[in-house]
A and B are shown apart, each in its own frame.
Chain A
């Protein structure tokens, strides 16, 4: 009796669908996305292998080299003191190796950016899914909280908070918590909207109607369908988190010196831009490259995960 049904098998069209392989395939066809992925991979490797790289170049980010400076504290030689020894030159006033500062800075930036993103995604997804799915007074209360968070002058608050918290509290953790805390409302709102539309789909209703509990529905029906949105949102939110960390460090309320940070280097370099422009260029370029790469990849992911797209 199965013959009448199987006579027209429907095969999946190659290149469509949102399976992992299909998405990777589409990403690989997008040259910009591949470039971005490579740039991100390079930065991640640099961040992970920073001590190794520092040993190869023979420099570390904490050692002073007053010998590399002239009497005014500016690096000796042209291009900020670039040489075979100091590949990116040295930092003015201290003479620390700029290459080492940039490589170790990648640890700070990427580490804090990723951690803050994970933190904000966990809270945002949790709040977004539960408010969208449960509804009722719980949704009303938390949605107002999200509204308040949006209206909050977050930068002022971040600066104030990092200034009043006792210095014994580890600064990187504090920065992660503060940035992540102001990141989740945006995630929650996007996820809540998606959940509201998923909630009405028949397969979600069917799951409820068969007697499944709420957490079962969230885990098996909602989250797999939200995965694409969450992935794209994560990729796009990492650069803004990195930017936020840089901004805090720029304003001298981020990670404490002497921990290398692109943001603080940029902040310091602004005062030296006339005499030593290369001091601004290297950390600035690193920050620019990594944020651009994450944004490009996020954009490509969004296109690749949309099964209707692809005709670009």
Chain B
């Protein structure tokens, strides 16, 4: 085994006089190996990585030691750090869309990175080097990408170009800060493949910052788990997933929703534990208990239909193809329908069509027995009364200038002015397991998960027949996600609403949905019970989508990766 190239020891970071946000973090980066820094938001993983390169705001105080090829980086002068940035350690950021200047072509920007460090190359040489870099980042036609501007490329292409740029200075180490979080799973699989190959073939040392245990299982060799600034557990990826030592690691792994049906014999202590804690609730995964789901099916068909879409098409612009078309869906009370697909597949559009927020140009939309498409004014408002929505981004779903009690009571204010609002707000806050005295608080005093609970409470204030949950947990940490999903399930038992769950995460859908519809380019490609679609997919696209999603198990993930490569070839 080669010697580590970057040794970090006892790293502490504090902002101003506040409590340190990173305490005593130590790790090594070794050429040809991937170290994953895992933790939830606020755990200090990005701060730790950026402090190594001196990329923190000036009020940050960094102590400890970070030796890169024997040279101390903590407290080093800017000139010295500049030599290391790019040429020694390259960086890839989370949002490829915001990482490039929109006014310059990709080629120009990568060429700039090539020239940032002393080079003997002439014009033609630089351009050849840019092509070479793009090719090594897995881009097949560098000539086209080089001339393109950022808005002309997809997220995946941009992230590859970003990686090419990070490689421009021939770094020996690469810091990738959530490189695939903003990308679709199918694109993510490709980027992770690229990172793995760069690491193996070029002997790069990779520091991968992520919150996704599936990504860790997919590419990492070693893992450092962090929690609120403290290192919790450090070890090889196989050991950590098979025998997690720290309680927090176990909790983190248990919170990851399972994508695959686990064989009953599998020794999954953590997951069994969570089940034991909640004896009153239904099994974690509905689809796993097959006998129950068959019985459920019969009962469900007799329940009233809360939403019915017939051959629905939605079109935003006057020209071009409709965003979605030919959508046929039916949703019964007490049932959850999962809508999955990649970004741009039209899942959110369908959710909004059910709330009458987007122009439906063809077909019929019935909500609770009323035709939504022709409804205007008073009648539309009455239909909307029967629909609750939970949005993806908890940061913008509550009015920052109103107290959360007001926000929850707003539907009552609109539709039932005579209701006893404070009492109802108390009930609703209790229903979403928040302290009723919090009604006076404002959204900025709440965490993301708490805000999402408030959004759920608001959506349920009028006891709607239909709840549209548009990526309700994708902005949340995995442990918070598990709690919110549990909450949604419990509330559905209590309130009996039909739920349209829009999500890109197949594991979330498996946990919550009774039936699943898979969308691709605005059309439903597969539709059936969760069990049928996710365990025995009939369409190539569904299979590819399933294969691309990483699972939190290194051994299984290695198999899945091979399967994905095959399916990717088939679909492409």
Contacts and interface: CB of A to CB of B under 8 A. Distances in A.
Given A1-B433, A211-B381, A213-B381, A206 B447 contact: no
B398 interface: yes
A221 interface: yes
Interface in B405-444: 407, 410-411, 413-415, 433-435, 442, 444
Interface residues of B, number: 44
Interface stretch (B23-31, B206-214, B307-315, B384-392): B384-392
Interface stretch (A4-12, A104-112, A120-128): A4-12
Interface string B261-298: 00000000000000000000000000000000000000
Interface string A202-217: 1101111111110010
B432 to A, nearest CB: 9
B562 interface: no
Contacts, number: 95
B447 A8 contact: yes
B446 interface: yes
B78 interface: no
Given A2-B433, A17-B444, A209-B357, A224 B384 contact: no
Interface in A106-147: none
A20 to B, nearest CB: 11
Given A203-B407, A206-B389, A221 B447 contact: no
Contacts of A2: 433-435
B445 A203 contact: no
Interface residues of A, number: 28
Given A2-B435, A5-B433, A202 B483 contact: no
B463 to A, nearest CB: 12
B410 A202 contact: no
A211 B385 contact: yes
B195 interface: no
Given A203-B397, A208-B357, A220 B391 contact: no
Interface in A3-28: 4-6, 8, 10-12, 17
A225 B399 contact: yes
Nearest to A212: B414
A201 to B, nearest CB: 5
Contacts of A224: 399, 401-402
Given A17-B444, A209-B355, A220 B402 contact: yes
B396 A210 contact: no
B568 interface: no
A312 B309 CA distance: 55
Interface in A179-211: 201-203, 205-211
Nearest to A3: B433
Contact of A203 (B387, B398, B411): B398
A242 to B, nearest CB: 31
B474 interface: no
Contact of B391 (A4, A206, A213): A206
A211 B384 contact: yes
Most B C-beta atoms less than 10 A away, residue of A4, A10, A211, A216:
A211
Given A212-B410, A216-B414, A225-B399, A11 B445 contact: yes
Contact of B410 (A6, A207, A227): A207
Contacts of A225: 399-401
B393 interface: yes
A84 to B, nearest CB: 55
A4 to B, nearest CB: 6
Contact of A12 (B397, B401, B444): B444
B520 interface: no
A202 B459 CA distance: 13
Contacts of B355: 209
14 contacts: A5-B450, A10-B450, A206-B391, A206-B458, A209-B389, A210-B384, A210-B388, A210-B414, A210-B458, A211-B382, A211-B385, A213-B381, A220-B413, A227-B401
Given A211-B380, A220-B413, 14 more contacts: A4-B483, A5-B433, A12-B444, A206-B459, A209-B357, A209-B389, A210-B389, A210-B462, A211-B385, A216-B413, A216-B414, A220-B399, A220-B402, A225-B399
